[in-house]
Structure 1
Amino acid sequence: MSDMHFKIVLIILLIIAAGYIFHLRFKNFNLRRLLDDTLHKKAEIGNFLSIFSKNLKTVEEIEDSMNMTARYVADLVGASSLCIFTLEEDGFLKAAGIAGAFPPLHKSTEYVLTKPRFILESLRREKIKVGDGIIGEIAQNRESLLLEDAAEDPRIAATGAVIPIETLMAVPMVKEGKLIGVVCAVNNREDGKPFSPEQFSSLKFMAGQVELAYNIVKVYSTLSKQQRINQELEFAKQLQHSLLPKEFPEWGQFSVHAFSKSAKEVSGDFYDFVEIDKDRLLVIIGDACGKGIPACLLMFMARSFIRANIERYTTLNELMQDLNNNLYRDTSAERFITIACCVLNRKENTIEYVRAGHTELLIFVPSHHHSLRKIFTQGTALGLMPGDMVDEFETFTFSFQKDLSILLYTDGITEALNKNDEEFGMDRLRDNFMASCETRSSPQETIEKMLRSVDMFVEETPQSDDETLVVIKHRENFV
């Protein structure tokens, strides 16, 4: 083979190799984008379910739950107004949930009234025949619609709407081939801008969650009071179980394990592990006020907010401040939650800690004569007070030395009672944790030993509060 021939073959091989590498990178990019989109949608579902489920308590609140659902979806897609139309038993479409000043899209003599309150009342009474108007057509054809410039559409002009309609998107809700209804959003919150393909995609995705919410409402409305309570418990139990981490992370030099035991069917305690980026992992433990369904739902709200928003915060103080504002706005006055967070940075070999009214952090430091340190930073419980009354949440950062062990816990451990009404207490907790650390037990072994100690102490006394432990330890022989 001549040198020229060899060079040509080599060039061809290099071109093929370069093309293959480009293909692999492009494939990897698409997979990463798909993963990010999936995680984002999972966060949206978790947040939606947590907000929706906390409203399912009484018949009156069930009737208002579709309005809450409409408000949430409108916020998510950035719409000025939104209406959820459902197909009723008589075969007509009716407004089941409304957010904002939604304009009538079906011509009617009732709409001569121009005050928004009267328009909305008329809209709730109105029945739309499948096939009539934009909403009826979408229901009949079962095809989504995006009108970037709605003013130019003759169907909009025919409605004679008193509220200007600049842009519109609507999606049919269909389950197993059966029409459930239509979700319609009108006007972008960014004035003058049409709805984007991304907003349209979000509405189509959330239409499935709206359909789920509507079916839950229908089921609840036909249940007896006791059946409804059982349904709430089962729904919350399944949701809580699905959201708890299934695996415990080995994050560089950090080894983590956790355990939670509820006092009732569902728990107000929780723990979670959230990957912030390739170097940082957020470890969370929380304890919602009370027990059972109310505490469980408060826990869902806090967890969903953190998971959906953690990437946009640069400090733990900002995260706690915004979470407090969110909970204060959306919960009743007597509801609150305590939380402690640790950011594990495997690149810098550090831990950053913040607490919001939670129990203190315990650190076992073998290099200081096997001492046990208690870290008690300043920070109030979340949801009790508005943001302007909450001081800054103090953070504490330290390097993660070899053989260091950390304990996070809820007060259900220290306040566990025996038959003499004596608490397990802080001293027993400290002694058990230190003894386990001195024998170089793994995080899982440490938790198992501590739980056995609590069980031996309380004996047959019924558990009175949720109990949760999280242990973080420096991995053995980590290089």
Structure 2
Amino acid sequence: MPSQEELYTRIERLEKLVRISTLISSSLDIDTVLVQILEAAGEVMDAGGTSIMLLEEDTGDLLCQQATGRVGKLVCQVYRLPKGQGIAGWVAQNAQPVRLENVYDDPRFSPEMDRKTGFHTQSMLCVPLVAKDRLLGVAQVVNKTRHDTVVPFTSEDEELFTLFAQQAAIAIDNARLHRSLLTQERLQADLQVARKIQQSFLPERPPDVPGLELAAYYEPSFQIGGDFYDFFHLSPDELALVIGDVSGKGTSAALYMARFVSDLKIHALQERDPVRLVQVLNDIQHERSRFGMFITLIYGILNLRTFQLDYVCAGHPPLFRYRPGASCDTVQGESGFPLGIFEEAGYSLNRLVLEPDESLIWYTDGVVEAQSREGRLIGSDWLSRFLEAKALTAPQLAQRIVDEVHRFGGQESFYDDITLMVLRRKREDEP
């Protein structure tokens, strides 16, 4: 039967446990939670050293996250233990506590850490950290000390530390969930910034050009990309058009796109030859290629008197030419490498004349690489089959294409941006 002093000690430790459980549950910062857990464990268990090791998801190894005691900092710098090795590894693998009076008497104990740190481990109590039936890691206390003497941990210590570990695991799991939610919020904020950057460099509306209809559609993906398009006058008789796609996703792609569009407009006003302009832009991008990004694009100049389009393609999907009552065909033309890959990439001039009631469809790969829920690619052959023979205005044509991409994908958002421009020459009898 326990003595009165032992009963008082038990009550005091249980009161500490209740108080500490409240304390470690009061914070959602994972680092703060871990420190509080270890400080509390050392206090409740009279331990000379405490440590928490959490499972690394990719490898299954145990990594020391926090440790206290004389060599605690050094332990966390060098401690990595495969699951199943050592006392902690065995506890993690079997999800059972281990209590040892002298660790050197147990063949599972690895003395390597003692040799590296100069610490001498004697008694040990190691328990699993489990939350929602998931193993998070292990908690460990060593060298229980009474009156400057190392003594064994008792079965009562094991029971108390197991209760403590249950509360600690819940606190760790909650803190991790909180960190995950904060990360998601930051990512969402990052995507919002990227979308605003991207959209600020896109035209608010197509220009009014006599004899032409222009329509554009841009839909950002759930992972923002680097799509862009633009049309701007070089002179009263010349309209520049461009559509392109920066490799990569996120804010970096949006910022890269913004910088490129600025370069494009500056140099387009100085260099009227499409081939030389694209070569200049390629040189600029190659200088920045250390970032590992490249750009595909089609850049062209439309003569508003003759409706002749001179354009250059740099690794971008080809134009479609739509003739009501006839067909919707891929425009066969020369294409060079995407910008930024090779220093002296060669580019060729393509030329066509837009006839009355004909449309040119400019698009990025999100239009032809949309996937169904089953993983099938939409491709490009469907355009010639899908578009009706009757004449369509540029806005109608753009909307029909977008609607079909959405119907095929069967989802509200896509992995890649959907960007589309339609350029249609009006008939002579149209206002």
TM-score bucket of the superposed structures, by smaller chain: 0.5 to 0.7
Q: Percent identity?
A: 26
Look up the SS of the partner of 2:382 in the other structure: helix
**Structure possessing the higher radius of gyration over alpha carbons:** 2
Q: Is the 8 A contact 1:416 1:424 kept in 2?
A: yes
Q: Aligned letter for 1:341? A: Y
Structure-to-structure mapping, 1:59-458, within 5 angstroms = 232-264=190-222, 266-332=224-290, 334-365=292-323, 369-370=326-327, 372-386=329-343, 388=344, 390-391=345-346, 393-432=347-386, 434-435=387-388, 438-458=389-409
Structure 2 CA distance for partners of 1:372 and 1:399, relative to 1, 3 Å? same
Q: Is the 8 A contact 2:274 2:312 kept in 1?
A: yes
Look up the SS of the partner of 2:356 in the other structure: coil
Q: Aligned letter for 1:381? A: P
Whole-angstrom distance in 2 between the partners of 1:459 and 1:230:
23
Whole-angstrom distance in 2 between the partners of 1:252 and 1:341:
21
Q: Is the 8 A contact 2:216 2:421 kept in 1?
A: yes
State the shift of 1:281 in Å.
0.8
Structure 2 CA distance for partners of 1:403 and 1:464, relative to 1, 3 Å? same
Whole-angstrom distance in 1 between the partners of 2:395 and 2:301:
20
Structure 2 CA distance for partners of 1:265 and 1:464, relative to 1, 3 Å? closer
Structure 1 partner of 2:151: none
Q: Is the 8 A contact 2:357 2:424 kept in 1?
A: yes
Q: Does 1:473 align with 2:427?
A: no
Q: Aligned letter for 1:315? A: D
State the shift of 1:248 in Å.
1.1
TM-score normalised by the chain length of structure 2: 0.54
State the shift of 1:418 in Å.
0.7
Q: Is the 8 A contact 1:365 1:373 kept in 2?
A: no
Structure with more helix by fraction: 1
Question: Could you list the runs of 5+ residues in structure 1 that have no partner in the other structure?
Answer: 1-223
Whole-angstrom distance in 2 between the partners of 1:264 and 1:460:
11
Q: Aligned letter for 1:430? A: S
Q: How many pairs does the alignment contain? A: 249
State the shift of 1:286 in Å.
0.6
Q: Does 1:463 align with 2:414?
A: yes
What is the CA deviation profile of residues 188-220 of structure 1, one whole-angstrom value per residue up to 9, with x for unaligned ones?
Answer: xxxxxxxxxxxxxxxxxxxxxxxxxxxxxxxxx
Structure 2 CA distance for partners of 1:450 and 1:305, relative to 1, 3 Å? same
Look up the SS of the partner of 2:320 in the other structure: strand
Look up the SS of the partner of 1:259 in the other structure: strand
Q: CA RMSD in A?
A: 2.4
